[in-house]
Amino acid sequence: MSINFDKSMPDGGHPCTDGAEHAGPDPLTDSSDPSHAGENVRMMRAAGVVGGATLLSRILGAVRDIVIASFFGAGLTSDAFIAAFRIPNLLRRLLGEGTLSIAFVPVYTDVLYHQGRTEADRMATSAIRLLALVLLGCALFGIVAAPWLVRLFAPGFAESADKFELTASLTRIMFPYVIFVGLLALCMGILNVLGHFAAPALAPVFLNIAMIAALCLGAMWSMDQNVQVRWLAFGVILGGVLQLGLQIPVLVRSRFRFWKKAPLWHPSFQRILLMLGPVLLGAAVYQINSLVVTLLASLLPQGSVSYLYYADRLVQFPLGIFGIATATAILPTLARQAAAQQCEAMRQTFAHAITLVFFITLPSMVGLIVLREPIVALLFQRGAFDAHSMRLTASALLYYCTGLWAFSGIRIVLNVFYALKDARTPLRISLIAIAANLIVGALLMGPMQHNGLALALSLSSVFNMALLTVALRRKLGALGWRAICTSIVKTAMCAALMGVCVEAVSGWLLPSDGGTGLQLLPGVAGCAFIGTLVFAGLAHALKLPEMRKLLDIVRKNSPATPA
């Protein structure tokens, strides 16, 4: 069994098939390989660290969005800030949520595995210096080209001179953020390979704190919303400085000496660059599609951009905690297995990760759908954000949630391709998915308004996930889909029954008149608690292995792992 790691490896081949996969062990239950069991435990613990840090970040992110909604509601100022933030934030999501690491980690791991730590760190130091220069140029371009960027990404804003000018001004203020978040992404890749996950995962916490503090200070300084929103934009820059600053002490403690002499160009960069373009497009299809949604929503009635943004933020909560956290944790594992040509271990890692992600994502999806209106009202309905805005945001959340399982699964499938250094297959599929999102969104935005755009994003993501899994089967061989699908179907049954129970008890626990703000907190918390108990009980009754694995990690009774 061997893998051709050469960059010319043909797409659609069978680099990991050995003709005996159908007779192999069940990837979900086999534990005959102690080293693989230990690798799974390390992966789950890493995912737990990332997920816990992401949970804290998402909570503060929710507080940030609550503050923004309270000050600006869903109108001209909020639309302008959200559209302006989308442009540098797209680069944050492209780079900062693991996408840059996807291109960097396999090459860094390969150099580390074959040439040693000294050469790997030399390559990483060169990458930091070269990337800093590129990002500086990118930031200067964004500042100068801000009006043209707004016309490109929010063409509907040109109809209102005030909205257009405010959006362009905010874009100029926030664009330097890309420098800090790009370097942060590279530091994240280095630290993840070296076994450090907490500091990179905690970085968004500092962005949220900086934005909340800046907006509150701006409100103390002036009652003018235009002044307040500019303070908020400067808070984004401060958050970027703090995020990057958090990584430096951890890098130093990990014996990474970024101040040592290194060339501006390293021979390994050729491999990174060959992957980077396809990776940025292939792995960031959700972010690109979200930008397409913002573009189309700018053509709809005022407030549409805000409704979709707030709904997307709620979807990002479970997606970041479970989907992206698991994808971040498995990439170094997959890269090590690919470097060592451990094909069967890669198949087992994929099966382990995809079932775990669906086990947590499916009940989250059902819970958000059932409790969408009380959750939106609890978080956002106050100040300038009224009941009408709440209902329109909740309807967008419904259609976003239908694709939550696909949003999460895509990240897992993509990381297998990238560990195998195949970026071309995901690129081709992502182009199809982006085109599908644009076409379906344009067709649905007329009859369904902003809800049609949310549904189009979900449908295109499901389509993307289906194409990727078919391609992965051709690339990696049989993945044990019978066992995987059995687990997913059982999880879906548990989630559906949980949803029925939550819907039933919500009539008792939630205020009959709807309620707003903190009035809903006890009822929503009670529904979530009961839903969790019901799902856990059903999963235990059906003997789902994912439930046992999660309990093992919590109780620290899992197999011992090498230091």
* 8 Å CB contact between 108 and 123: yes
Residue 208 to residue 176: CA distance in whole angstroms: 17
Amino acid sitting at position 328: T
Residue 154 to residue 158: CA distance in whole angstroms: 8
In this prediction, residue 557 carries a pLDDT of 37
In this prediction, residue 92 carries a pLDDT of 66
* 8 Å CB contact between 347 and 476: yes
In this prediction, residue 496 carries a pLDDT of 95
* 8 Å CB contact between 468 and 8: no
Task: Characterize 239-250 residue by residue with b for buried, 16 or more Cβ atoms within 10 angstroms of its Cβ, and e for exposed.
Answer: bbbbbbebbeeb
* 8 Å CB contact between 214 and 231: yes
In this prediction, residue 357 carries a pLDDT of 86
Residue 174 to residue 181: CA distance in whole angstroms: 12
At residue 254, the 3 state secondary structure works out as coil
Residue 274 to residue 360: CA distance in whole angstroms: 34
The pLDDT tens digits along the chain (563 residues) read 333 333 333 343 444 544 333 334 444 444 444 455 555 566 666 666 776 777 787 788 888 888 888 888 777 888 888 888 877 776 766 665 556 777 788 888 888 878 888 888 899 999 899 989 999 998 999 999 999 988 887 888 888 888 899 999 999 999 999 899 889 888 888 888 887 878 887 888 999 999 999 999 998 988 888 889 999 999 999 999 999 999 999 999 988 887 788 888 888 888 888 777 777 666 667 777 877 888 898 888 888 888 998 898 888 878 777 777 777 777 778 878 887 778 888 888 888 888 888 998 899 999 999 999 999 998 888 777 888 889 999 999 999 999 999 988 888 888 888 888 788 888 899 899 999 999 999 999 999 999 999 999 999 999 999 999 999 888 877 777 788 889 999 999 999 999 999 999 998 888 877 666 678 889 999 999 999 999 999 998 988 888 877 666 555 434 333 33
Per the listing, tokens 């990727």 go with 468
- Phi-psi region for residue 517, left (φ > 0), alpha (ψ -120 to 50) or beta? left
In this prediction, residue 106 carries a pLDDT of 80
In this prediction, residue 79 carries a pLDDT of 87
Residue 191's contacts (CB-CB under 8 Å, 6 or more residues apart) are 197, 199, 200, 247, 250, 251, 254
Residue 106 to residue 99: CA distance in whole angstroms: 12
Element (H, E) at 289: helix 285-297
Residue 385 to residue 313: CA distance in whole angstroms: 16
Residue 263, number of CB atoms within 10 A of its CB: 13
In this prediction, residue 528 carries a pLDDT of 92
Residue 345 to residue 488: CA distance in whole angstroms: 21
* 8 Å CB contact between 393 and 327: no
Radius of gyration for the alpha carbons in the chain, expressed in angstroms and rounded: 23
Tokens of 513: 């008149």
Q: Rounding to the nearest 10 degrees, give the CA dihedral for residues 546, 552, 554, 555.
A: 160
In this prediction, residue 554 carries a pLDDT of 55
Residue 530 to residue 535: CA distance in whole angstroms: 9
3 state SS for 118-179: HHHHHHHHHHHHHHHHHHHHHHHHHHHCHHHHHHHHCHHHHHCHHHHHHHHHHHHHHCCHHH
In this prediction, residue 174 carries a pLDDT of 93
Q: Is 255 exposed, middle or buried (0-12, 13-18, 19+ CB in 10 A)?
A: exposed
DSSP 518: G
Which of 280, 275, 288, 103 is closest to 186 using CA atoms? 103
Which of 345, 413, 356, 348 is closest to 44 using CA atoms? 356
Residue 14, number of CB atoms within 10 A of its CB: 13
